[in-house]
Structure 1
């Protein structure tokens, strides 16, 4: 069963109960994840870490509605937005046009889309760049457009599948700060996938460690850091961060051998 909800805690936005996902035909099925239960409270920033093939992305896709469970129950209680590892922008549209497309799908009237798209781009640090073509944007800027496009549908739950993995270190650090600040400011619930113990500690309020063969959750690491006004560099310099990163790195290595 998923963890019991604390009477004083926010209601859960995501609940998985005994979930199993299989691929392939009936003669040779492959079990991607097996008997996974988890609960993500409203406003939580939960990170999934683990080795390749442990089912992190499968769980994210399950919550997004892109996959179906062979067994178990999936309960997602508020609207969802998804940010993938690659931005997946429409190359024939401008930055603003990509966001406006999502706004149109969300039912925003045509007359309001340009202003709303510009507002969303400004929120992710791209003020004045609505008219830029995708090939005029850096990788980090393209990923910001993808985040703005996800926010266009006003999700209360944001699913992020290694969104910064392909970026340079400086851009990754900036976007880590922006995503965490955005989540804090809006109260958005975030389920985030990464291979990096450091990124998990920087962003998460709680980290779930997964093992493969088949995919399952084998450890949970609460992240009780006082972020306050500290930026990423300042947070990295704290003793608490170093301790948690080490603890999570050990748990991830153990999971890889599990």
Structure 2
């Protein structure tokens, strides 16, 4: 994809370093990271535990600040909740609200009229395989079901930028595949820009238009692999998995992450 001017990138990280602790005992989580994500790209971060994948995602979300370097989202410093949907490893739902209430809260924040919210809630719950659960309490659901509610909440406003930190790790295989299909289809249909963290080479190749490989000690980018598979919403995942090109890319990525 041709590079454009800095201001047009949805995400622009240049020389980013993140450090924790007092000056004499600082730990460097990531160092010297450059990463540009253009509109509509689906960028997946992979690498071993402790390489800084989640730290970078938190910088883009505005939850962490870079010690040095530049971090911009649409040309401005990242701020929590400004135009990005975030799905964490844990659901982080409001326990005092119902399942539907959690999703309706996100719809209200994004200006969806009250009269339209019940239908939108029902539609989103159907998407994640939880139809009919709007009136239930979150603590009545399993951990995997709660994560599906969190994904529905993040999708509620159909955000321009979606940040996902291993969102499917706690789900069973069938639900994981269903939600991979849903997120991939949504991103392709709406042109959503996605930054996605995973440990799975297969998931990375399946979802990403690019895969960025990180290494630890400190966290840094060591490879940026374009994924030239069909990302049209109509392209089904089983067909992609069966293609020789998918097998080649998955093998290549596995080699890069060793």
Cα distance change, pair 107–214 in 1 and its aligned pair in 2 (3 A): same
Counterpart pick for 1:162 among 166, 172, 176: 166
Choose from 190, 193, 217 the match for 1:213: 217
Give the aligned partner of residue 14 of structure 2. Answer: 17
Is 1:30 matched up with 2:35?
Answer: no
Contact 1:79 1:154 in 2 (8 A): no
Distance 1:197 1:135 in 2: 32
- Please give the per-residue CA displacement for 1:142-174, whole angstroms capped at 9, x wherever unaligned: 222212211234421000000011112222111
* Contact 1:104–1:110, Cα closer than 8 Å, also in 2: yes
Gap change, CA 1:108 and 1:6, over 3 Å in 2: closer
Alignment-derived partner of residue 131 in structure 1: 135
Distance change >3 Å, CA 136–CA 115, structure 1 → 2: same
Deviation at 1:235, TM superposition (A): 1.6
Equivalence map 1:136-147=2 (5 Å): 136-147=140-151
Structure 1 residue 152 corresponds to structure 2 residue 156:
yes
8 A contact 2:8–2:38 mirrored in 1: yes
My pick for the range that moved more, 152-161 or 97-106, is 97-106
> Is 1:121 paired with 2:125?
yes
In structure 1, distance between residues paired with 2:144 and 2:110: 25
The separation in 1 between residues aligned to 2:237 and 2:116, in whole angstroms, is 35
Aligned runs of 1:219-234 on 2, under 5 Å? 219-227=223-231, 229-234=234-239
Give the TM-score normalised by the residue count of structure 1.
0.88
RMSD: 2.3
Q: Distance in 2 between matches of 1:166 and 1:118?
A: 23
Q: Runs of 5+ in structure 2 lacking a partner? A: 75-81
1:36 alignment partner, SS class: strand
Q: What is the number of equivalent residue pairs in this alignment?
A: 249
- Residue ranges of structure 1 left out of the alignment (5+ in a row): 254-258
